[in-house]
Amino acid sequence: MNIKRLLIDFIGLFLLVLVVTSVVTYLWNLVFHEAGAVDWETSFRLAIILGIVLPVTKVLEHKKPGM
């Protein structure tokens, strides 16, 4: 397992998920609650979870025997 590649994948996914989730929560609050606010707690939580889970899943998927 290449730690450097795993870290780069984490940072890239973290930033992507953080930006997308921030935009989505902003638009959700703007449309349904008429308040343009970003839910930073949810954005960071989801970014950290997906930033860890997706690269690890990718590494484990490539390590399966017989594939």
Q: 5-31, pLDDT tens digit by residue?
A: 999 999 999 999 999 999 999 999 999
Confidence of residue 66 (pLDDT cuts 50, 70, 90): low
Whole-prediction pTM value? 0.87
> What six digits make up the tokens of 48?
């950290």
Nearest-CA neighbor of 42 among 34, 54, 50? Answer: 50
How far from 24 is each of 9, 16, 17, 29, 52, CA to CA, in Å? 22, 12, 10, 9, 21
Sign of CA dihedral 19, 53, 6, 60: negative
* Alpha helices, H only, 1-67: 3-32, 40-62
Confidence of residue 1 (pLDDT cuts 50, 70, 90): low
